[in-house]
Amino acid sequence: MTTTIALPGPLVLAGLGKMGSALLSGLLQRGLNPAQVFVQDPAPTAAMADELAQKGIAVSALLETLPKQPSVILVAVKPQVMDQVFPPLAQLAGPDTLVLSIAAGRTIESFARHLPANTAIVRSMPNTPAAIGRGITVCVANPHVTADQRELTDALLSAVGEVAWVDDEALIDPVTAVSGSGPAYVFLLTESLAAAGREAGLSAEMAGRLARATVTGAAELMAQSDQTPASLRENVTSPGGTTAAALEVLMGREGLGPLMTKAVAAATARGRALAK
């Protein structure tokens, strides 16, 4: 059963890139009143304005006035333009406003310095499957976020997939390394599997088709199963069979496990270096 999202005040959406657009689409499907949505984009196009106007949504380069103080300021702009975009937005915040960020690398403190004291701030990290409603977003809240605002965050972000919480903001960096960057790892696995198939003699078309269907099919099987990934792997591995022979390589000392550990560690370190 889908829960309709109702807000006492406006929702200001800053940024209408891929993630912002995915969230807006999901929220409208959840029944959010378009008249409550105000889109602020650093460079709104005529086509964007026309498309949103047809849905009853206002868009501008700068929101100077609103009918009332926003319930939510949802920040979805790229980190590179955050210093230009966010300070004017911060002036809209009232005592009951929730600031919800999905911007990579931007800390709670980087928002708090522009906001009134005690403003509720949630930093979150979604991933690209949110574009099809199959994402997962991990959140961390500052001490001023109320229980109701946590529930509101869940309702907003669940419009594009699962929602999880951590208590320590430092954990957002490994979250980014696992789920934020993780889709790219899966895409690379698919590329590598197809390339291996070509090396084994398959045509490029057949190898690519097999790799793509296998990865997406296995992912859906895992999504629909209550078994662990390890159990699913064991279920398809016959002792002495072809899968066991391949896994002996992939699970070796220099196999996929150690490589993935190094990859996630590298992404985590980079995230910490980029954080502001």
| Model confidence pLDDT, tens digit, residues 39-90 | 887 777 778 778 888 888 877 756 666 778 899 999 999 888 898 889 988 9
Mind listing the pLDDT tens digit for each residue in 232-243?
Answer: 999 999 999 999
Residue 146 CB partners (closer than 8 Å, separation 6+): 120
Q: Is the pLDDT of residue 1 over 70?
A: no
Distances 15 to 35, 42, 235 between C-alpha atoms, Å:
17, 7, 45
**pLDDT mean over 198-227:** 98
Residue 65's pLDDT is 63
> Could you tell me the residue ranges of all domains in the chain?
11-175, 180-274
Pick the CATH number of 180-274 from 1.10.3730.10, 3.30.413.10, 2.60.370.10, 2.40.50.140: 1.10.3730.10
Q: Which amino acid is at 206?
A: M
Assigned CATH topology for domain 11-175: Rossmann fold (3.40.50)
Q: Is 35 in contact with 92 (CB distance < 8 Å)?
A: no
Q: What is the pLDDT of residues 118-177, one digit of tens each?
A: 999 999 999 999 999 999 999 999 999 999 999 999 999 999 999 999 999 999 999 999
Structure tokens given for 253: 């000392």
Largest CA distance in the chain: 70
For 19, how many CA atoms within 13 A lie in the half-sphere containing its CB? 23
